[in-house]
Amino acid sequence: MNPINQNNKYVFDIEVTALVKRFKEVVAVNGVTFKVNSGEIFGLLGPNGAGKTTTIKMLTTLIEPTSGKAKVANYDIGKDKSNVRKSIGIVFQDPSLDDKLTGRENLVFHGMLYNLESKVMSKRISEVLKLVELEDKADILVENYSGGMKRRLEIARGLMHQPKVIFLDEPTVGLDPQTRRKIWDYIIELNKKHKTTIILTTHYIEEADFLCSRVAFVDHGRIVALDTPEKLKNKMGGDIISLKVDFPINKNIFSKVKWIKNVKSLNDTLELTVDDGEKKILDVLDVAKKNGIKIHSVNLRKPSLEDVFIKITGKGIREEAGSFKDRMRMIHGRMR
């Protein structure tokens, strides 16, 4: 597929082919391949340690791939690092602001790094501060900012040089729900108003579902599924009826029912996948009653991306939090 359309504009702002990153015996990224359309919000969704941040670090030229190829804004990440860096903005997972400078001074410093002219810099600072609603906080030391304000300033900083592509690595981690939703609004406005291509990593299910036009599930360094959130959820094949019951019970009681597509147990809850869940609830209760199963509560919901991830990988998004860091600590300990 040709990455340039008839108007001589690049269709794909990111093209990744068989990208691999090894740290000694640990394979952090294992043959990742995907493309991100120009103007798209694309999400890498998976547990901490799945390889999302390592992928971002390779695409932003912060670390070298072990093998594979990638282009960002049509520049090769290995052969043309300078132009890649000029074309991107980055909001890191860990804070990277200078707390001893004001918000405005942080932006000025960033503008100087990109050789922005004084008039252009002043204009851009006003624009990005307005976007993230920090105009009245611009001259306060960053050490006095809240976590949400710092995150907003980091987004503003990443936009200073008007990048074609912006990378957001866990942009709302650690923020309260209200602030997180505000950050989502900024991301959507940025994408719609400036047509900026955005690739974000997250382990928040609702974040990927709300923001992304397409999502790639990442597990153990591999992409195990990639599609729109809606199409991924449709793979569950129906609604989910959750039954809180007294265990142990025989799951085959429900598995043998033809119109129940899937049965799984989570702690003290049974989850049944059915078509047209609203009409099937009474039938499910009837099956339970006939087989002497005591039900404490019933819940009906549409499938989530978490359900799809569990179906594909056999585990939840947050089950392996910190696993990659633990493996890296183990390797570091052996090297000392």
| Domain CATH number, residue 23 | 3.40.50.300
Residue 254 structural domain: 237-302
Tens digit of pLDDT at every position of the chain (336 positions): 445 554 545 588 999 999 999 999 899 999 999 999 999 999 999 998 899 999 999 999 999 999 999 999 999 999 999 999 999 999 988 888 999 999 999 999 999 999 999 999 999 999 999 988 999 999 999 999 999 999 999 999 998 888 999 999 999 988 889 888 989 998 998 899 888 999 999 999 999 999 999 999 999 999 999 999 999 998 888 899 999 998 888 888 999 999 999 898 877 899 999 998 999 999 999 999 999 998 999 999 988 899 899 888 887 776 544 444 444 443 344 333
Query: Is 55 within a domain?
Result: yes
Q: Could you tell me if 157 and 222 lie in one domain?
A: yes
Query: Is 320 within a domain?
Result: no
Q: How are strands ordered across the β-sheet holding 295-301?
A: 260-266, 269-274, 239-245, 295-301
Domain's final residue, options 174, 207, 228 = 228
Query: Is 327 within a domain?
Result: no
Q: What are phi and psi of 133, to 5 degrees?
A: 55, 50
Domain's final residue, options 228, 257, 277 = 228
CB 154 within 8 Å of CB 95: yes
Q: Could you tell me if 65 and 140 lie in one domain?
A: yes
| Integer Cα distance of 113 and 129 in angstroms | 18
Burial class (CB in 10 A: 0-12, 13-18, 19+), 293: middle
Q: Could you tell me if 251 and 291 lie in one domain?
A: yes
Residue 319's pLDDT is what? 52
Question: 35 in helix, strand or coil?
Answer: strand
Query: Is 174 within a domain?
Result: yes
Tokens of 70: 């990638």
Query: Is 328 within a domain?
Result: no
Q: Could you tell me if 141 and 286 lie in one domain?
A: no
Q: Could you tell me if 33 and 86 lie in one domain?
A: yes
Query: Is 325 within a domain?
Result: no
Q: Could you tell me if 192 and 263 lie in one domain?
A: no
Query: Is 309 within a domain?
Result: no
Q: Could you tell me if 256 and 132 lie in one domain?
A: no
Q: Could you tell me if 241 and 127 lie in one domain?
A: no
CATH code (residue 275):
3.30.70.100
Domain count within the chain: 2
Q: Could you tell me if 76 and 152 lie in one domain?
A: yes
Query: Is 259 within a domain?
Result: yes
Q: Could you tell me if 183 and 212 lie in one domain?
A: yes
Output 126-135 pairs: Cβ under 8 A, ≥24 positions apart.
128/156, 128/157, 128/159, 128/160, 129/103, 129/104, 129/156, 131/156, 131/159, 131/186, 131/189, 131/190, 132/156, 132/186, 134/103
Q: Could you tell me if 137 and 255 lie in one domain?
A: no
Q: Could you tell me if 281 and 144 lie in one domain?
A: no
